[in-house]
Structure formats: C-alpha cells, structure tokens
Amino acid sequence: MSFSHAHLLGIEPLAPSEITTVLDLADQYVDLNRRPEKHAEALQGLTQINMFFEASTRTQASFEIAGQRLGADVMNMAMQASSLKKGETLIDTAMTLNAMHPDLLVVRHPHSGAVDLLAQKVNCAVLNAGDGRHEHPTQALLDALTIRRAKGRLHRLNIAICGDIAHSRVARSNILLLGKMENRVRLIGPPTLMPAGIRDFGVEVFDDMAEGLRGADVVMMLRLQRERMDGGFIPSEREYYFRYGLDAEKLAFAAPEAIVMHPGPMNRGVEIDGELADDINRSVIQEQVEMGVAVRMAAMDLLARNLRAPAEGVMV
C-alpha cells in the first residue's frame, strides 16, 4: 500500500496508484460500516479536531462519524463561538489548537488556499474539507468510489458534470481525479458558469444538455452556489431548470444505464427533479453519502499510518 503524503489537501498531488489505495481501503470500511459492530482501532489514542468555517451538514457529520468509528477522540470546534469572532486570525486559531497536540485537523474554509496555508503552520496531518472554489478532495474520492462500485471500473467512462462549474470545488477535484484515472469528462452548463481556461484541463465543454449528455455513463449534477455569486449569472431559476435541470426527459439522452449523482445539498426543482433524485434505480445520491464515511475513514487511516511510522519519502 502506498500513500506518501503527510496531508490531504487536494487531488492534484495524488498519483493514480494512491487514489486506488484510498479506494481499496475504503471498500473494506464500507463492509465494516454495514456491520452492527462498527468499531476499529486505526485512530486509537489520536485526537481529531474539526474546524468548519463554512456551513456543512454531511461533510462534517461524516468526518465526525469516521473518526469515532476508528477510535479517535473527536472534537468539533464551534467556529461561530470561537475567538475568530473577536478578530483572531485563522493562523492564530490554528496555532492555539496546534499547541494542544491534535493529530488530525479537518478544515473547511471559504477562501481558496487557506487550508494549504494552515497546513504549513501546524505539525499534524491536515485534511481539506473544502476550501473556497479550489478543492474538496474527499468529495471527489467518495464520488470515485461510488462510480467504481456502480460501474465496476473507474477508467474509460464518459462522465458529465453539469451546472455551476465556476464556483464548484467539487467539480474541480472531480475533473482532476477523473482525468488522472483516464476517463472522458464533459462539462455542461451556461457559459456564465464555466470558468475561463477550463479546456486546459482536458475536458469537453457544452452549453446544451442534449448534446453534452449523449451516451454519458455518469451524470453528476451540481448545486447553484448562490453564496459565491455576486449578481446575474443566470436569468431565473425557472429558466435554469428548463435548460439545465436534470429530469427523466433529459436523462434519456445519456446511456441507458447512466447513474445520477449529486454531492448535496440539493435544490429540488432547480438543478434536479425531486422524483429523479429519489429514484433508486437511477440515483446513487444516498450511496454517495454512505461512501463518504468510508472514504474519510480510509484517508484518515492512511495519514495516521504516516504519522505513526513515516513511510519512505513522505511529502510534507
């Protein structure tokens, strides 16, 4: 097993074999999580602190459950109540926590690059739980595991990522991961929601769902990230749903066995039809949540192994 990193800050530095290592270990944790007795000891004695500077439901809950199942002492910093309110900087807060000797720090922050910066200042393993519109590596890994289990492979698939690409760290991490594993990635969305220079990432770009979805094996929908928009990116939600909202009719353009994904939280009736999202024959949205816990267990387990006995050539 090889995973030669001290932190998990993004998909960018990971080799394809390291992605496979995380997913293989996560498969074992899926089995453990389906048993009534779910405890393992990979993080026994270690302290995990979750610092979420942005709202989160599933990611935070999932990291918390993952740590507890592996025996860590898990603490959620109540960021709303912390000294940040009193003007303390991110780095001061991190240094204060660092002095309490945590082993794993899970961080979500609204600014791209903030988590990387923090990782340079502390001496524990840092996991990026989403930084601005930059990366969200555990989301891409859980999406990859979901795809691999549903399709039986993670290469040479046609994968369509649809919607608000410009503001999405989920899209960015997925584009990197799916590209490294040699899939064909197509992005579909209005030109106003497509980041400049995105074609350099080796993707195809469409602004029409019928064209972009043709023959897709996987259809990944994204939320309109209104909190990151400062004005008129779309004419109206109604119009957006009409052109880009996924319903059974548009899904018919994809391959017959295509699966439907969404990282959550979903806006039913904006980017996806509620009935389709709940259709267990097409939608794997609940599986994504299940895989999230297993992938986070695997990622923290691998980082903890490097903490306890640094592997040859661990990159800090």
**Inter-residue contact 167 to 131 (CB < 8 Å):** no
Site for ligand NCD in 210-269 (CB under 6 A): 223, 225, 263-264
Q: Which of 60, 139, 146, 174 binds ligand NCD (CB under 6 A)?
A: 139
CA distance 281 to 162: 20
CA distance 311 to 179: 27
CA distance 28 to 292: 13
CA-wise closest residue to 206 among 238, 147, 216, 229: 216
Residue 97 DSSP one-character state = H
Site string for ligand NCD, 264-293 (x = CB under 6 A): x-----------------------------
**190 is a contact residue toward ligand NCD (CB under 6 A):** no
Work out how close the CB of 174 gets to ligand NCD at its nearest, in angstroms, rounded to a whole number: 11
Q: Of all helices (H) and strands (E), which one includes residue 26?
A: helix 16-33
Q: Which of 130, 137, 212, 245 binds ligand NCD (CB under 6 A)?
A: 130
What are 246's strand-pairing partners?
272
Nearer to ligand NCD, 91 or 266 (CB): 266
Nearer to ligand NCD, 112 or 225 (CB): 225
**Inter-residue contact 133 to 166 (CB < 8 Å):** yes
Q: Which of 59, 60, 146, 283 binds ligand NCD (CB under 6 A)?
A: 59
Nearer to ligand NCD, 140 or 254 (CB): 140
Nearer to ligand NCD, 45 or 265 (CB): 265
CA distance 213 to 217: 9
The tokens for 92 are 């001061």
Nearer to ligand NCD, 139 or 183 (CB): 139
Contact residues toward ligand NCD (CB under 6 A) are 58-59, 130, 136, 139, 169-170, 223, 225, 263-264
